[in-house]
Structure 1
């Protein structure tokens, strides 16, 4: 028969295991720690964002293409309406009320930004037509064409406009004048199809401009 001292030792060992989190009883009444295996933690690497290139369909920053797509700010169909003597129309292109800008107060239709004065003047183009507008060589660097949502309406020297196939289309945008005064007699060359370019002069707050 076991002595009382031995029995007490076994009871104490069992009780100690019951209270300890990392202990199990063995068959020989001795105790050993519970062995646990830590699961490896897998970390998913954070992907490096890749800049999305601008589609070739929108041309380049300085010679851009404005088309009838969801990525371009446009309105279609647009009702042509009756002719207005204050409009400027060349071939399929029309700037509504552009002649009014010759004597308009700059603050009334423009805002001054770091690169010059920006004048918001939309353009309309006949259904299915296309035309290219270029700043004349003598005015390059002094003014620009602020059309093209994909280019954030920064100033370009040339813009090719393409209407929606079956509807008259209006494009948001305007002109940029680098002169601190914000006033310009801006010469533009407009090409339609195979015809020779037509030169016009747009007055932006500059009064009457020479032809």
Structure 2
């Protein structure tokens, strides 16, 4: 995390409540309309508590923006077994890590989508580059596709698997809502495992 945020203790329970609330408020409102009053109401804390930890709305916004990149990159690096060369295992680990983050921080992906849509590129270019570097590593580093059938288009296979696994998260969110994802993680994993069985049966030698 950038040095400017080194004073913010994410393990503090009140700070975490503020961050969770901020993700939702900034996701559902334009920056100008997303007030600290809305955030403290969502976080169920006194207004003064927010300003004890964050100087103002801008600092809070900037913090959750950079924290988003930090938590995704750290969790992916930790959860993925980079020595496992199987693509299905790699993408399963990626999707499960993402689901775990989303269960802990509902609206984090909506927030990032809004940032990339509304902010000028120079505001998020460094983070975008980091995301691309990590994505290239996830999709390309130390993978072996030699077990696929000879006539399988590898790039097409990679896309199909990635979007099939991602759709499981979307399915459970659509059915249960963003804030109720945590109890469904095991079901998501089970659904992905069924897809893995299908891919191994039809695409592997």
TM-score (norm 2): 0.23
TM-score (norm 1): 0.23
Greater helix share, structure number? 2
Greater strand share, structure number? 1
Determine which structure has greater relative contact order: mean sequence separation of CA pairs < 8 Å that are 6+ residues apart, divided by chain length: 2
